[in-house]
């Protein structure tokens, strides 16, 4: 893991699978919570609480820490952040052996898009999601849905228990809840297990391939912020195209 990332999130716990699970009081899922795999959609609420926003901003480099607390700072500009690791191929022919843009985003982009730079830990977690998509048979489109969901839920960080700011008992890349049947804390903070669990639930959604990304993700996740997943579709497609 990068040294600069450990500066942002200094409390690090290892589970029994030796996968890194990140934990810091003040970090929480931006997308709300993941309930049981077959639960129905939840209503829209006002948005993530202030502590979650501040800590996720800190983790993604948009804030500084003072006296142990997250203090948000403004970006130098209002343009989306683009990383050389995730720019992808928005136009033209895809690289040899890679899925096309039409395959990855068959229904078009919904709404304004967000983009963040990725460090090595995030890329490793994205790769675990893509590998699980291949193994579970959901294909490259399923991988886009999975990566976009994790970008929203945890910014592709494998979050451990978050103390006072934990969203119920949600943990891991997809903020899945042990109390709702997703698995033990050790399991859902294992990237391979959590991604496989997500895709297994996605496959139980009738016609998921024909749904917009945010509808497919929300049916699995049952988030309090169901429309938030759509903003990550473009970056998720770029990531999947590179890692597929």
pLDDT at 189 over 70: yes
The neighbouring-strand residues paired with 64 are: 71
pLDDT digits (tens, 9 = 90+) for 124-136: 999 999 999 999 9
Least confident of 59-63, 93-97, 103-107, 142-146: 59-63
d(CA 33, CA 123): 23
Least confident of 17-31, 143-157, 212-226: 17-31
3-state secondary structure of 112: coil
CA angle, 226 then 157 then 60, to 5°: 90
Averaged pLDDT, 64-72: 34
The per-residue pLDDT of the chain, averaged, comes to 73
Averaged pLDDT, 78-86: 42
Strands 69-72 vs 63-66: parallel, antiparallel or unpaired:
antiparallel
3-state secondary structure of 185: helix
Averaged pLDDT, 18-26: 40
Percent of the chain with pLDDT over 70: 61
Averaged pLDDT, 204-226: 93
pLDDT at res. 169:
85
Averaged pLDDT, 43-58: 40
pLDDT at res. 183:
95
Q: What are phi and psi of 66, to 5 degrees?
A: -130, 130
d(CA 42, CA 223): 6
pLDDT at 50 over 60: no
CB 217 within 8 A of CB 101: no
d(CA 24, CA 164): 10
CA distances to 54, 75, 114, 123 from 78, in Å: 18, 7, 11, 24
pLDDT at res. 11:
29
pLDDT at 55 over 80: no
pLDDT at res. 95:
82
Strand intervals (E) in the chain: 12-14, 20-22, 63-66, 69-72
The neighbouring-strand residues paired with 243 are: none
Residue 141's H or E segment, with its range, is: helix 139-154
Tokens found for residue 84: 């050389």
Averaged pLDDT, 50-71: 42
Q: What are phi and psi of 149, to 5 degrees?
A: -65, -45
Averaged pLDDT, 28-48: 36
- Binned at pLDDT 50, 70 and 90, residue 116 comes out as very high
Q: Which residue has the higher pLDDT, 6 or 107?
A: 107
pTM (2 d.p.) = 0.70
Give the number of C-alpha atoms closer than 13 A to the C-alpha of residue 142, restricted to the C-beta side.
25
Query: b/e per residue, 226-242, with b = 16+ CB within 10 A?
Result: bebbbbbbbbbbbbbbb
pLDDT at 201 over 70: yes
């Amino acid at each position: 893991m990068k040294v600069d990332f450990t500066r942002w999130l200094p409390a690090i716990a290892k589970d029994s699978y030796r996968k890194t699970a990140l934990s810091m009081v003040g970090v929480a899922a931006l997308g709300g919570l993941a309930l049981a795999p077959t639960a129905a959609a939840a209503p829209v609420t006002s948005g993530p609480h202030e502590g979650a926003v501040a800590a996720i901003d800190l983790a993604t480099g948009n804030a500084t820490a003072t006296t142990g607390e997250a203090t948000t700072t403004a970006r130098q500009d209002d343009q989306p952040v683009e990383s050389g690791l995730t720019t992808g191929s928005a136009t033209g022919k895809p690289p040899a052996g890679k899925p096309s843009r039409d395959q990855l985003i068959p229904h078009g982009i919904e709404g304004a898009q967000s983009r963040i730079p990725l460090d090595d830990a995030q890329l490793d977690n994205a790769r675990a999601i893509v590998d699980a998509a291949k193994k579970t048979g959901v294909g490259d489109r399923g991988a886009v849905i999975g990566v976009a969901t994790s970008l929203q839920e945890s910014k592709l960080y494998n979050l451990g228990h978050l103390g006072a700011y934990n969203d119920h008992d949600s943990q891991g890349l997809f903020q899945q809840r042990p109390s709702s049947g997703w698995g033990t804390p050790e399991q859902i903070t294992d990237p391979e297990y959590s991604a496989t669990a997500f895709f297994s639930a996605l496959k139980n959604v009738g016609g998921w391939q024909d749904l917009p990304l945010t509808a497919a993700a929300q049916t699995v996740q049952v988030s309090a912020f169901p429309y938030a997943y759509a903003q990550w579709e473009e970056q998720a497609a770029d990531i999947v195209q590179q890692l597929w």
